[in-house]
């Protein structure tokens, strides 16, 4: 992964903690697909759905395949709402994770109280630390 680099300047135009005209550079580790998704599942499964949804891009898309049909939700309001409306106790547990650069694929075990568990093939696309696309297909 590449580190993000940006200069830090004070209001006077001088670099913070440095001399005028000399940029101080901060290095931080970029958040890739695996990092983003680990955080997403940790937040979702701990009950912090708002926190999990905050990792989604404004233009996120969710495609859910059910009984030979597919439904596509578009935008943070629809996609995020799908996760926010889930009943208390809803969990998604990833297994057999495959890191494919900016795509995270996993076999998800979905747990909903009062319903049989379900296994899904899932693919999540992550760009700049935000989830931009989700594809869920029953196994």
pLDDT tens profile 60-83: 999 999 888 999 999 999 999 999
Could you tell me which residues are beta bridge partners of residue 92? Answer: 110
> How many other C-beta atoms lie within 10 A of the C-beta of residue 33?
21
Phi-psi region of 101 (alpha: psi -120 to 50; beta: other; left: phi over 0): left
pLDDT at 48 over 60: yes
- Hey, is 130 helix, strand or coil? strand
- CATH number of domain containing 131: 3.10.450.50
Instruction: Read off the pTM.
Output: 0.75
Answer for the pair 61, 73: CB distance below 8 angstroms, yes or no.
yes
Backbone angles phi, psi at 22, to 5 degrees: -115, 115
Domain that holds residue 24: 1-30
> How many other C-beta atoms lie within 10 A of the C-beta of residue 103?
14
Residue 52 and residue 3 in one domain: no
pLDDT for res 31? 61
Q: How many domains does the chain have?
A: 2
Report residue 40's pLDDT band, with 50, 70 and 90 as the boundaries.
very high
Mean pLDDT of 33-44: 95
Largest CA distance in the chain: 64
Residue 3 and residue 35 in one domain: no
Residue 53 and residue 119 in one domain: yes
């Amino acid at each position: 992964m590449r580190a993000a680099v940006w200069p830090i300047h004070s209001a006077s135009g001088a670099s913070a903690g440095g001399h005028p005209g000399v940029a101080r550079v901060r290095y931080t580790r970029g958040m890739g697909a695996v990092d983003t998704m680990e955080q997403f599942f940790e937040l979702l499964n701990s009950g912090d759905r708002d926190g999990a949804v905050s990792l989604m891009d404004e233009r996120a898309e969710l495609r859910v395949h059910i009984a030979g049909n597919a439904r596509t939700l578009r935008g943070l309001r629809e996609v995020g709402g799908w996760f926010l409306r889930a009943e208390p106790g809803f969990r998604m547990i990833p297994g057999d994770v495959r890191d494919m650069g900016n795509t995270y694929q996993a076999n998800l075990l979905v747990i909903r109280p009062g319903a049989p568990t379900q296994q899904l093939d899932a693919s999540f696309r992550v760009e700049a630390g935000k989830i931009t696309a989700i594809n869920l297909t029953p196994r």
